[in-house]
Structures are given as structure tokens and as C-alpha cells.
Structure 1
Amino acid sequence: MQLRLKLVLLSGVPIVVALLLMGATMQQQTYKLVREEQALVQAAFMHSKEAELKHYVELARNTLLRIAEGPGDVGARKEQALATLVRMQFGQNGYFFAYDQHGQLLIDPKTLPMQGVDFCDPNDPVGADSAHRILSTARRGGGVVRYNWSKPSSQSVVPKLGYVLTIPGWDWVIGTGIYLDDVQEALQAIETGARSNIESTRQRIYAIAAVCVVLIGLGGLALNLKDHRVSSDKLRRLARRVVRSQEDERVRVARELHDGVVQVLASSKFLLETAQLQLADPATPVPAAPRQALDQGLARLGSALVEIRRVSHGLRPALLDDLGLEPALALLAQQVQESGAFAVRLVRQGVPAQLPAEHGTVLFRIAQEALQNCRSHAHATQVELLLHGTRHGVGLQVIDDGQGFDTRRVFEDGARGIGLRNMRERAEALGGLLSIDSGRHGTRIAAWLPLPHAAAPQEAAAPAREHTPLPLAHPAP
């Protein structure tokens, strides 16, 4: 695993884990606060309901006490009191109930203005338990009692909070109740809102985690791209140094061949030629066999000199250092054409007078490799070298009429196209471009090298067709 990827993981994973733990802690604390809030809301609601019920029951009790203390028959006053109690209502489902000292209901539910009312009847199995709770609380002095009962408006069984008191003298138990379904709805609304807030917060945390991971990934990608560019620049500079060292070594070898071995061979040839001239003097009689051997040695020595000069020029033509790229290309074209392989024509257009040594070397090597490919593989009959330049850069095109090749297959095959890869690497080492276009009608290799302190490299396009042929020079070897 790469170090950069490790750093991204070491920075991204803890952030994601921390955000997830924060989300879980937030959820737990939120539910805890919701439960505390529900308890507080329920306590507040219950206290409010109890106070409200107490007020209603005490109001009804005072009314009944005034009737009980009034004049008239006791039975008539009790009937008046029950009638008054039936008419007393509050809210949508608020009504009063009354029991006698024996626990019997004193009010008929059918006499109430609202429909669906059912009292807790001690004689009814359904309401016996609730009625006993009510009567027991009243006998202990009255107060709050809780039970479940049917709500008239919805005909559903819901929790109900009741409050009961006794009427002194008559031993009646009166009371009323308030249904607590609204309290349950309020508590449920609180919980629903809390769950919605928790879910919304969780989504935000997940979004923040995703953004953090993306930002970390982008940062790592940017660093990788930067490192890649730096590495590419380093590799390009290294390649240039390698090529430069190769060329320096070629120059050294060529110079040593020319200044050392060639001079020795030349002096040896001079001495042998002098000896040959002396032997050719009619006044000096010499056997025929030594004379023939001397002639053969001189011939072979001359061939060796020619071969060494050829190798020296192949390693590094002296014209490339002394006169520049154009004469070197002219000499290369002349040598190839004299070998009888094919016709070569050199054309130039707008080439700068002074080219950096690196640029001249790279273009010369590209031309050298391309001509060698034309000789070995293309079976061409005519080759054109186009050397063109602008103030931004210099380009070279090698165009032949050979049989061409499949560039994709050549580059995909690792064992083939080594020369083409070398040409491309040489051009890219100087920030240039190299394009290869091959088909049935021939091959076109175009290289473009930007000049130092010039604009970005342009596409290796063909120059204008109006060019001036450059006569092939015939420099001395």
C-alpha cells in the first residue's frame, strides 16, 4: 500500500468513526432529554388537569350544598340537585356523575344531553372495578382517581383522570373526569418531533462525514497528482541527463577514435606508403611476394581507416558539433543515398540559426533511427527529411513511401518498436511531441521540440508545402 494512501486512510477513517460515535452519543442524549421532557410535560399536564377537575367538582359541590341547605322537602331538593347536576357540563366531553351511600348510580346516562355516555356501574362487570376505585377514594375523603373508560366523542377506551368529593348530610359521592388522550397525543408529538430531529441530525452528520471523506480524498488525489508531476519532471530531467551522458560518451569515443586510433593508422599508412614508394624504385630489386603483401596490407589499412571514420561519424558526426544540425543531416542523407538503399531529399524551412545542442542531437538521432527503419523494414524507394522551425520551436519530419505498419500493434508488443519508443522518449525528455502516422502509402514520423523560454509545445504538424530544397552537401569525411 502506498504511503499516500495510508495517510489518507489514517486521516479519513478516524474522522468517520468520530462522527459516527458523535451521532450515536447525540441520539442517546437526545432520547434521554426527550424522556425527561415527557416526564415534565406529563407532570405539568396532570397538575393542570387535577387543578381543573378540583375546581369543577368543588363548584358542583357548592351548588349542591346550597340546594341541600334550602327550604322544602328533602326528596324534592335531591331531585332538584340531580337535575342541576345533569345540566352542568364543561368542554366537549365533560359531565358529572353521582353515587348514593350504597354505591348506586343516581344519574341515568340517558338523561344527559350528550350521547354515548356510560357510567361506572358497580353492578356492571365492565365498570365495577372503576366504580369501586371511585367510591373508595371518596370514602377516604375524596381526591384524584385514575382509570380507563370509553370516551363519548370517539367511542374508544382512553385513560381518564377523575376527581370525587362527598356531599355531607346526603352521603352522596359526586365527581367528574377528564380524558387524558390529549396528554398522550402531546407526549407522542414530542417523541415524534424528537425522532424527526434525530434523523435530520443523523443525515447532517452523515453528509458532513461524506464531505470530509471526499475532501480528504481530493486532498490525497491533489498530493498524488503533484507528486506525480514532480516525479515526472524528475524522470524527464533524469532521462535528459542520461541522454546527455550517452551523447557525451559518444563524443568522447568518437574523439578518441579520431584523435588516437585514426592518427596511428594514418601514420602507419603513411609509413607503409613511403615504403611502397621506395620499393617501387627500379634501382632497388625486391621479391614479388613481399611487394604483394605490402600492397594488401596498405589496402586493408585504408579500409580500416574508412570503417573507423564511418563508426566515428555514426557515434557522433563532427559536423553536428562544428556546423550544426543541417549539415549533419545533409551528411547523413548523403551517406544513406550513396549506400544505394533509397533516394533521400533534405528540405528545410525557417530553421533558427542557433539551436541548443540537445535539440540538435535529439533530432539527429530521430532522423538516424527513422532512416535505419526505412532501410530495414519499410523497403522504401524515396525518403524526404523536412526540417522546419519557428520562434517557438523546431520540428523534423521523416516521410517515406514504404509499406507502412500497424502502429497500435507495434507499441502493444513489448518486443517490437524499441526504436520508435526511444525516439518518443528522446522528444518527450525535452518537453516535445512525436507523432507517427503509417499506412499502405508510407509512414510519416513528425517530431516537435519547443525552444527554451518559448511557448508550450505545439502539435507536430506538417509545415507549409512551399519549402526550399536544401542541396545535399558533400563535406570532407
Structure 2
Amino acid sequence: MTFRSKILVLAVGPLIVVTLAVTMLLTWQSAKLARSNSAAFEEAMLRSKEGEIANLVSVAMSSIQSVYEGAGVDDAAAKERVAAILNSLDYGKDGYFFVYDYAGNNVVHPRQAFRNGRNWMTLVDPDGDRVIRELIAAARSGGGYHRYKWQKPSTEAVADKISYVVALPKWGWVLGTGAYLDDVAVQTSAANAALRERTRQSFIIVALFAVPAVVIVFSTCLYLTLDERRMADGALKQLTQRVIDTQESERTRLARELHDGISQDMLGVRFAMELAGRHAETTELKEAIDESVKGLNATIREIREISHDLRPRVLDDMGLAAAIKNLAEKFSLRTGLALTMDMETFVDDLSPDARTALFRVTQEALNNVERHSKATALEIRLWSENGRARMQIADNGLGLPSGFIRQNEGLGLQNIRERVAHFGGIVIIGGTEKGTRLQVMLPRSAALADAATKAA
């Protein structure tokens, strides 16, 4: 992972983690609140049901109070009258009063007549609860509530039910009524669904804010990173070009000094030695002077070659095509490679810097061919296409090594890429069936008119 990638991860990673943590915490808190509200809602519904059935039992007690208080322990007529009153006090499809004696015998049950006169002390609901026994125990202990499962008259389905019972101790009776709780379950389920929907909406709202925030921060970091990289690359290109310009300026100065200074001085020395040779008195002295003149001539030629390599005058005097042709022909003579050149369609309208860059690219390419390719033939093409300069250098040598990637390029190829990249050009290096091909493409902006416009 690169340093920029690490910075990006360090910038965006904590935001994503915090966003996920906040979202998870919000979801967990919402679910917890939903469960708490659901439990509170269900508890409130139960309390409401309990209060309702307790009030109904109070109403029933009030309706039979005068009869019950004026009757004796074994007053059968009073018992029948009370039973009739309670049978008539029904409310709704599933609302009724029931009466059992302490022994578990049913006395009043207006919705399930088959229970009248029978003993139900051993009755057990689906949960294993001894319903009648527990109701009698709650009533005899002073009255109370009991929750169990019982058949609902309107649907004949077994449902949760809560009953409130009180005792009529003089007769040994238990009076009570109850409320079925399936509607509580339905309302609780509806409330839970509503809470879940609100939780989902809250999550969506958080996501609508969090996701764009993460995207914005990520985009900002990415933009800043790319902008910094662009600025750094621009500064690096400018620095590279300044180094190249400085090198070219120094090459030009050294070439001028070698050609106009040292070379001319040595020519003067050669003329003086030739003059001295003509006036030499002995044959031995004349031969020694002639040998020195030959060595001096070789040194002068070498200095001129160095001067030409540093900055060929033909590049400034006759243009790029002539300079590359001169360079390639000397290369062919020195190495013995068969040379093919095609420059007929080239229009030399390049700026001086672009012209120098292509010449240096050619120099570097020929050096690589000589050092690495072991080629026997070389082809150089230079042409213009739609106002853009193009160059191709191909050999029939060993080609690129297997597994070659750009990161494995040497300093020479990197210099080629840097020179061309300064003008916004493209360098393509690839292998052929036998050999290597280097292609260089410069944009229109490298032309002399475009360069002058930019400078203006």
C-alpha cells in the first residue's frame, strides 16, 4: 500500500467505522426501545383489561347484593334468582359472568351451557394450568386475577384469557368474569410493526445522511490526494525539464568551448609543429614532429566528435531530420548495422526544445541498440501525421526479456519517457517477432507555433 493510500485509509476509515458504529448503536437502541415500548404497551393493555373486568365484577355484585344479603345459607330460591340475574348480565359476544362452587361444580355459564351442574375441578388448559382450582383459590384468598387459556365462544378457538374472581362465602360460590387477550396480541403486534417501520425509517434517514457524508469525505480526500499528486507531478516535470534544459545549455556551452576554444588552440599548435617540421634539420627530428602532429590530429578529431555529441551543430543549422540522419549514419559505420531510414514525410515545425528532445531520444535508443540488442539491422522512421510528429526506431535484435515490465526499465528508458512526457507525448516500447520497437508520438502543442503561443 502506497503512502497516499495509507493517508486515504486513515482519513476515510475512521469515518466509516464511526458511521457504522453510530448506525449499529442507533439500530440497537431503536430495537431496545421498540421492545421496551411493546412491553409497556402490552402491560398497559393488560392493566386496562384488569381494571375493566374488576369494574364489571363490581357491577355484578351490586346487581345481586340485595338478594344475596337477604338470603340464608341454604336459600335455594335466592340462589336461583342470583343465577338468573348473572345469566342475563352478558356483554358482547364473548363477555359473560361465570359461577363455580368451592367444590368445582359449575353454577352459571351463559355461553357454555354444557358446563352447568358438572364438576370441573380437574380441568387443565393446554399449558397445564388447573384453571378452576386456581380461580377458586384466588377467590377464597380475597379475590384476584388469574391468566389462563380458554375457548373463545365466538370463534371456538383457544385463546389467552384473564379473569377476575371474588367469593360469595355464604353460599361457597366463586363469581367472576374475564377478557380474552387475543386483541391485545393483535394490537401489540401492530404497535411492534409500527415501531419497526419507524426504526427502518430512522435507519434510512441515518443512511441518507451518513452515506453521502462518507462519499463526500472520500471524494474530498481523493480529490486532495490527486490534486497534490498532480501538483507534485507537475513540479517534478518542471524540475526534470529544468535539469534537461540546464544539461542542454551546459552541453552547448561545452561544445562551443571545445570547438571554438580548445580545438582552435590545438589547431594553432598543430600548425606551429608542422612549420617546425618543415624547418627541422635532421630526419629523426622531422619524423618525431610528424608523429606528434598525427597524434594531435587524432586528438583534434576526438574533441570535435565529443563536441558534436554534446550539441551537434547540424541540429541547429539544418534541422532534426538531418541531425538524426547524420547520427544514424555514423552509428551504422561504427557498428556495421544495416540502416534503413524514412524521413520524407516529416515536416520539421517543432520547437527547439521538442527537436532537441527527439534527437536525445534517438541517441539514447541507438545506445541501447548497441549495448543490448545484438541486432544486425536498424530501421528509423520519422514522419508527420495531422500536424503531430511521429518517430519509430526498430531493430532485429534479442527483443525485450521475458517478464519485462515498466518498473524494470533502466535509467535510459526512463529519461526517454521523461523527455517525451514533458511535451505531453507518448512512448510505446514493445517487442516484435524479432527485435524491439520504440515509438514516440508528440502532440500538436510541441510544434513551433504552439510553443510560441504558450510562451506569449
Q: TM-score range by the shorter chain?
A: 0.7 to 0.9
Shift in alpha-carbon separation, 1:25–1:441, aligned structure 2, 3 A? closer
The C-alpha deviation readout for 1:189-239, integer Å capped at 9, x for no partner, is 535654564466457646865664454334323332332232222222222
Partner of 2:365: 370
User: In 1, Cα distance between the equivalents of 2:394 and 2:418?
Assistant: 20
Shift in alpha-carbon separation, 1:8–1:384, aligned structure 2, 3 A? closer
Shift in alpha-carbon separation, 1:428–1:116, aligned structure 2, 3 A? farther
Structure 1 window deviating more from structure 2 (241-250 vs 390-399): it is 390-399
Shift in alpha-carbon separation, 1:158–1:238, aligned structure 2, 3 A? same
- Give SS of 2:399's match: coil
- Is this contact kept in 1: 2:315–2:322, CA < 8 A? yes
Shift in alpha-carbon separation, 1:300–1:453, aligned structure 2, 3 A? closer
Amino acid at match of 1:231: A
- Is this contact kept in 2: 1:342–1:380, CA < 8 A? yes
Structure 1 window deviating more from structure 2 (266-275 vs 424-433): it is 424-433
Give the C-alpha shift of residue 324 in structure 1: 2.2
Q: Which runs of 5+ in 1 are unaligned?
A: 139-144, 280-285, 455-477
Partner of 1:405: 399
Partner of 2:107: 108
Partner of 2:453: none
1:131 aligns with 2:175: no
Counterparts of 1:338-353 in structure 2, within 5 Å, are 338-339=333-334, 341-353=336-348
User: In 2, Cα distance between the equivalents of 1:436 and 1:362?
Assistant: 17
Partner of 1:452: 445
2:162 to 160, 163, 181: 160
1:310 to 305, 312, 319: 305
User: In 1, Cα distance between the equivalents of 2:26 and 2:106?
Assistant: 56
Partner of 1:395: 390
1:94 aligns with 2:71: no
- Is this contact kept in 2: 1:404–1:441, CA < 8 A? yes
Shift in alpha-carbon separation, 1:119–1:176, aligned structure 2, 3 A? farther
- Is this contact kept in 2: 1:435–1:447, CA < 8 A? yes
Give the C-alpha shift of residue 382 in structure 1: 4.4
Give the C-alpha shift of residue 275 in structure 1: 2.4
Give the C-alpha shift of residue 244 in structure 1: 1.7
- Is this contact kept in 2: 1:148–1:157, CA < 8 A? no
1:273 aligns with 2:266: no
2:284 to 261, 286, 289: 289
- Is this contact kept in 2: 1:146–1:159, CA < 8 A? no
- Is this contact kept in 1: 2:417–2:427, CA < 8 A? yes
User: In 2, Cα distance between the equivalents of 1:105 and 1:289?
Assistant: 157
Aligned-residue sequence identity (percent) comes to: 28
Give the C-alpha shift of residue 147 in structure 1: 1.7
User: In 2, Cα distance between the equivalents of 1:33 and 1:413?
Assistant: 59
Which has more helix, going by share of residues? 2
Give the C-alpha shift of residue 23 in structure 1: 5.0
Amino acid at match of 1:50: G
1:426 aligns with 2:456: no
Counterparts of 1:170-181 in structure 2, within 5 Å, are 174-180=175-181
- Is this contact kept in 2: 1:98–1:105, CA < 8 A? no
Shift in alpha-carbon separation, 1:431–1:7, aligned structure 2, 3 A? closer
- Is this contact kept in 2: 1:86–1:112, CA < 8 A? no
Give the C-alpha shift of residue 129 in structure 1: 4.8
Give the C-alpha shift of residue 265 in structure 1: 0.3
Shift in alpha-carbon separation, 1:114–1:172, aligned structure 2, 3 A? closer
Aligned length: 433
Partner of 2:264: 263
Shift in alpha-carbon separation, 1:230–1:413, aligned structure 2, 3 A? closer
- Give SS of 2:146's match: strand
Amino acid at match of 2:353: E
Amino acid at match of 2:234: D
Shift in alpha-carbon separation, 1:127–1:428, aligned structure 2, 3 A? same
Structure 1 window deviating more from structure 2 (12-21 vs 89-98): it is 12-21
Counterparts of 1:134-283 in structure 2, within 5 Å, are 134-135=139-140, 137=142, 145-153=144-152, 158-162=160-164, 164=166, 174-180=175-181, 182-183=183-184, 186-187=187-188, 189-191=190-192, 193-194=194-195, 197-198=198-199, 201-202=202-203, 205=206, 209=210, 212-279=213-280
User: In 1, Cα distance between the equivalents of 2:332 and 2:43?
Assistant: 107
Counterparts of 1:6-85 in structure 2, within 5 Å, are 6=7, 9-10=10-11, 12-13=13-14, 16-17=17-18, 20-21=21-22, 24=25, 27-28=28-29, 31=32, 35=36, 38-39=39-40, 42-43=43-44, 46-47=47-48, 50-51=51-52, 54-55=55-56, 58=59, 62=63, 75-76=76-77, 78-85=79-86
CA RMSD in angstroms, aligned pairs only: 4.4
- Is this contact kept in 2: 1:115–1:152, CA < 8 A? no
User: In 1, Cα distance between the equivalents of 2:53 and 2:314?
Assistant: 116
